[in-house]
Structure 1
Amino acid sequence: MMGVQDEARMAVSRHAARLFVERGVAATSGDDIAAAAGLSKRTVWRYFRNKESCAEPLFDATSLRFIAMLRNWPRDASIESWLQACLGSERAPADLADDVLAVRLLAMLPDEPDLRASWLMATQRAEDALAMIVADRLERSPRELEVRLCAATVMAAIRVVDETISIAAVRHRQTFTNQDVIDRLAHAIRVASTLPICDPVLA
């Protein structure tokens, strides 16, 4: 559950993301973001280190929502069946809106290195959380090198799928069904896993 400051940062992040998508990052100023959010520029800079970092809460929300889903992954379920169960159903309208906005930002990454830095910060936090999931699934320590390597390779695979689909959908007008996304994520996670986490595990 988000606190008041987290909610305020998320609101600013959504406003900044919409401006980045509409105008481009270079054409969006801190004043623009503050005005859209109804805040003073000083307040915005108290929350964020630069304008590109305003995207981090939105990236965090989408990445960590996916990680939260994996945190509930039953031991008797494969990665394919669990992703199908979770992603095959309808999402809340607010979550869907955030996901669409994040996709449009991800499609901008090839031309926006500073925005990519914010995305990588968010995926690093997701990777740390994923290490805990891998460790719990295999009853090992999250500090073990093999566990951390597995979390790193799986998170990198998820990141590549997210970026590839976003760029293809926004820039090249390719169409992806929900099943396409599920299948690509499941395949990428299975291929990238360096530990046996993708199939049912026994206690």
Structure 2
Amino acid sequence: MGSTQDDARLKVARLAAALFLERGLAGTSGDDIAEAAGISKRTVWRYFRTKESCVEPLFAQSWQRFVAGLRRWPRDMPLEPHLADCFDVRHQSVEEISDGLLIVLLIAKLPDEPGLRSTWLLSYQGGEAEMAAIIADRLGLSPTDFDVRLCAVAVMGAVRTIDETISQAAIRDRQVFTPEDVVAQMSRAIRAVSHLPFCDPVVPKPFGEKGTKS
């Protein structure tokens, strides 16, 4: 569970997102965000650097929930069935579904809002170290290993790109995606950029040897 300040920042992020979607960034001020959140403008600027960064905690939910799902990944299971379980809406709370929709709607606006896109890109950088830890743990390597870090950056870039592609196609082009479609595209993208074999079942090796594909 997050801290009280983390919860407060996420609440502001949700309200700022709703204003951005209704009025656009140019039509939304720090005063508007403060009024919607019931806090002072000074508090808004204590929490956030710019009005665009007000939605950073919401954007971060995207990769944080993805990474949290991968932390529960059984070692004897390939990527695809585990992602299917992670994206099963039956395992998501009403709040998670609501946040997910806000994120999708915001992502669809990225091509027209450079400031919002910068916030989105910055939010994803926070997931690189977390992904490195998951890859390293799965393969018995160090999270600071160059190949692990390189793989983690590539994977997070692939995940972000799929998030953007699907969200913009769904909102702008009215395409319909099932959870199975999302899993298929996500897993294909992750495998395409991964040069380390962490997507398949891994087994512990005796005598401290590094884990590999089974």
Same fold (TM over 0.5): yes
Deviation, structure 1 residue 178 = 1.3
1:30-62 CA distance string (max 9 Å, x none): 011011111111110010000000010001122
**1:88 and 2:88 aligned:** yes
Shift of 1:89: 4.2
Residue 8 of structure 1: aligned partner: 8
Distance 2:86 2:106 in 1: 24
Q: Is residue 189 from structure 1 mapped to residue 190 from structure 2 by the alignment?
A: yes
The aligned residue for residue 55 of structure 2 is 55
CA distance in 1, matches of 2:177, 2:44: 36
Question: Does the alignment pair 1:72 with 2:72?
Answer: yes
**Distance (whole Å) between structure 2 residues aligned to residue 27 and residue 201 of structure 1:** 51
- Displacement of 1:118 in angstroms is 1.1
The aligned counterpart of 1:158 is: 159
* Cα distance in structure 1, aligned partners of 2:22 and 2:156: 29
Matches of 2:14 and 2:146 in 1, distance apart?
Answer: 36
Distance in 2, matches of 1:89 and 1:21, equals 24
Instruction: Give deviations 1:116-147, integer Å, cap 9, x for gaps.
Output: 11111111001121011011111101111100
CA contact (8 A) 2:151 2:195 kept: yes
Cα-to-partner distance string for 1:53-73 (whole Å, 9 max, x where unaligned): 001000112210110101111
Q: Deviations over 1:130-186 (max 9, x none)?
A: 011011111101111100010011111101000000110111111111111111111
Q: Corresponding residue for 1:107?
A: 108
Q: Return structure 1 stretches of 4+ with deviation > 4 angstroms.
A: none
Q: Aligned with 2:49: secondary structure? A: coil
Q: How much identity, in percent, do the aligned residues show?
A: 55
User: 1:97 aligned to 2:98?
Assistant: yes
Q: CA RMSD in A?
A: 0.9
User: Residue by residue, what CA displacement relative to the aligned partner does 1:64-120 show, whole Å, maximum 9, x if unpaired?
Assistant: 011010111111010001111221242110000000000011111111111111111
Structure of greater Rg: 2
If asked which structure has higher relative contact order (CA below 8 Å, sep 6+), I would say 1
- Residues 29 and 89 of structure 1: CA distance in aligned 2, closer, same or farther (over 3 Å): closer
Residue 20 of structure 2: aligned partner: 20
Whether contact under 8 Å (2:84, 2:179) holds in the other structure is: no
Check conservation: 2:79, 2:187, Cα contact below 8 A: yes
Question: How many equivalent residue pairs?
Answer: 203
Secondary structure class of the residue paired with 1:5:
helix
In structure 1, list runs of 5 or more residues that go unmatched: none
Alpha-carbon displacement from aligned partner over 1:14-43 (angstroms, at most 9, x marks no partner): 000011111111111001101111111111
The question of whether the paired residues in 2 share the 8 Å contact of 1:88 and 1:179 is answered with: no
Distance in 2 between residues matched to 1:146 and 1:120, nearest whole Å: 22
Higher mean Cα deviation, 109-118 or 38-47?
109-118
